[in-house]
Structure 1
Amino acid sequence: MSILLSPDIRTVILLLFAGNLLAIVMLSAYRRKEGLELAYRRYIAGKIFQALAWMLIGARGTIPDWLSADVGNGSLYVGFAFEGLAFVLLERREKKFTRLYAAVTITGIFLFSMFSTTPALRVALSSASVGSITAMTAILMLYSIQASRLRVLVACFYIAFSIMLACRVAYAVLYPNQISVFQNGPIQAFTYLMTFAFTLVGGAGFLLLLKEQSDDALAIAVNELQIRETLLTNIFNTSSVAIFLANDDGYISMANQRMAEMFGRTIDSLIGSPYLDCVAEAQKDEAHDQLQKLLSSEISFLKLEREYSRPDGSHFWGQLTATHMHDGQKVGHQLVGVIADITDLKLAEVNMRKMAHHDPLTGLANRALFSDRLQQAMMVAKRDQTRFALLYIDLDKFKLVNDSFGHQVGDKLLQEVALRISRCVRDSDIVARVGGDEFVVLLRSVNTTENALLVAEKVRISHAKNFKIEEHDLAISCSIGVAMYPDDGTSETELSAKSDEAMYKAKHGGRDQVQFATITTTNNSL
Structure 2
Amino acid sequence: MKLLGAFAASIFAIAIPFGYYMLSVSEIRESLAIETAFLAKSVEKVIQTRPDMWEFESMRLQEIVSQPALDGKPCERIIRNAAGTVVAKTDIAARRPVISTSVALFDSGRSVGSFEARHSIRTPVVFTVLFGIFSSLLGYLIYYIFRTYPIKKLDSTLADLRRAGEELRESEEKYRNILENIEDGYFEVDLAGNFTFFNPSHCRIFGYPREEIQGMNYRVFTDAENAKKVFRTFNEVYVTGIPSKGFEWETIRKDGAKTYIDVSVSLIARPGEKPTGFHGIVRDITKRKKAEQEKDILADIGRLIGSTLDIEEVYEQFSAKVRKLIPFDRLTINLFNFQENTARNAYIYGEDVPGRRPGESYPLTGTVSEAVIRARTGLIIQLASPEEMARLYPTSIVSTFQAGLRSMMSVPLIYRDTVIGALHFLSKMPNSYPEQDLWLAERIGAQIAGAIANARLFTELKKTERSLRESEGRFRALVEQAAVGVAEIKMSTGQFITVNRRLCEMVGRTEEEMLATTFQAITHPEDLHLHEEIVALLLAGKIDHSSLEKRYLRKDGEIVWVNITISPLRKPGEKPGRNMTVVEDITERKRMEAEMREMSLRDQLTDLYNRRGFITLAEQQLKAANRAQRPLLLTFIDCDGLKWINDTQGHKEGDKALIDTTHILRQTFRESDIIARLGGDEFAILSIDAADLNQGDFSRRLQQHIDAFNAKESRPYKLSLSWGAAIYNPESPLSLDELISAADGLMYAQKKAKARGRRL
TM-score by length of 2: 0.29
Choose between structure 1 and 2: higher strand proportion: 2
> For the pair shown, which has the larger CA radius of gyration, 1 or 2?
2
Give the structure, 1 or 2, with the largest relative contact order (CA under 8 Å, sep 6 or more). Answer: 1
TM-score by length of 1: 0.39
